[in-house]
A and B are shown apart, each in its own frame.
Chain A
Amino acid sequence: MKALYFSWVRERIGKSEEDITPPDSVKTVGDLVNWLRGRGEGYATAFDNEKTIRAALDHVHAKPDAMIGNAHEVAFFPPMTGG
């Protein structure tokens, strides 16, 4: 699946998007955060505080317990500050 990163999540990881292939044991958005955290220092820093991370599955906001299912695109970002 495609993973997108925005704002300081993007800066800490050092890329705006990548293709990821998480193992079958990764079922939820929260599982995915835990798996990504193990991919390196930048990821660990980006996902350090789960309370400040938001996610979306195929353009729809998703909570940590949301099932990833057949989603094509996952995005991680801080709380929104537009408007």
Chain B
Amino acid sequence: MSGQTIVKIQKEIFDPVQECLPLTQDRKDLGALVTFTGLCRDEGGVLQSLEIEHYPGMAEEEIGRIITEARRRWPIEDVVVIHRFGMITPGEPIVLVAATGLHRAEAFEATNFLMDFLKTEAPFWKKQHLHVDGAGGWVSAKQEDEAAAQKWLQTQSPS
């Protein structure tokens, strides 16, 4: 069975639970639903808001390519990716990645893979706005995020 893919790039806040409900509705064949929700952290109370810039058009296409690669590697069913842009305040969700499968291994691994590549390949950039006047700036890419994505490239597809 070929599953459905839902990609949303939006400014609006979302409810991760509501977004995942359709994935398991009227399905009796599934064995796993794995979801990851990335939240805006207050960085110990100093962060006022997070501003996310994206590259419209490429963002959708790049996420599509990442999902295609995940589907090539694991027999997952449905996939949902939601990524917000604009101003986000601490406590709000930023990103949702969810995958269903007949077994948990593929759903877990595919979700992890999708998240690692979303962070390093999807064209989104975070800018921090701090409570201190005028403080903040663009978030630098982390070496460990790059390393997390690179490790998948050293593992072959299971098929």
Max chain B Cβ within 10 angstroms of own Cβ: one of A75, A77, A79, A82:
A82
Q: Across the interface, do B124 and A83 meet the contact criterion of CB distance under 8 Å?
A: yes
Q: What is the interface size of chain B, counting residues whose CB is below 8 A from a CB of the partner?
A: 29
- Grouping DSSP codes into helix (H, G, I), strand (E, B) and loop, the B interface class, with mixed when no group exceeds half, is mixed
Q: Which among A4, A6, A82 is the interface contact of B122 at CB below 8 angstroms?
A: A82
Are A82 and B124 in touch, CB under 8 angstroms? yes
A12 to chain B, nearest CB (A): 11
Number of A-B residue pairs having CB atoms within 8 Å of each other in the complex: 72
CB atoms of A77 and B123 under 8 A apart: yes
Complex CA–CA separation, A8 to B121 (angstroms): 17
In residues 96-149 of chain B, which contact A (Cβ within 8 Å)? 115, 118-127, 138-141, 145-146
Q: Which residues of B contact A78 (CB under 8 A)?
A: 125, 138, 141
**From residue 65 to 83 of chain A, which have CB atoms closer than 8 A to chain B?**
75, 77-83
Contacts of A83 in B (CB 8 A): 38, 83, 94-95, 115, 118-119, 122, 124, 145
Complex contact A82–B83 (CB within 8 A) = yes
Contact B57 A80 (CB under 8 A): no
Tell me the complex Cα distance, A83–B54, Å. Answer: 11
In the assembled complex, the Cα of A75 lies from the Cα of B124 at a distance in Å of: 13
B residues lining the A interface (CB < 8 Å): 38, 52-55, 57-58, 61-62, 83, 94-95, 115, 118-127, 138-141, 145-146
Question: What are 12 A-to-B residue pairs whose CB atoms are below 8 Å?
Answer: A7-B125, A61-B62, A78-B138, A79-B120, A80-B119, A80-B141, A81-B125, A81-B126, A81-B139, A82-B52, A83-B94, A83-B124
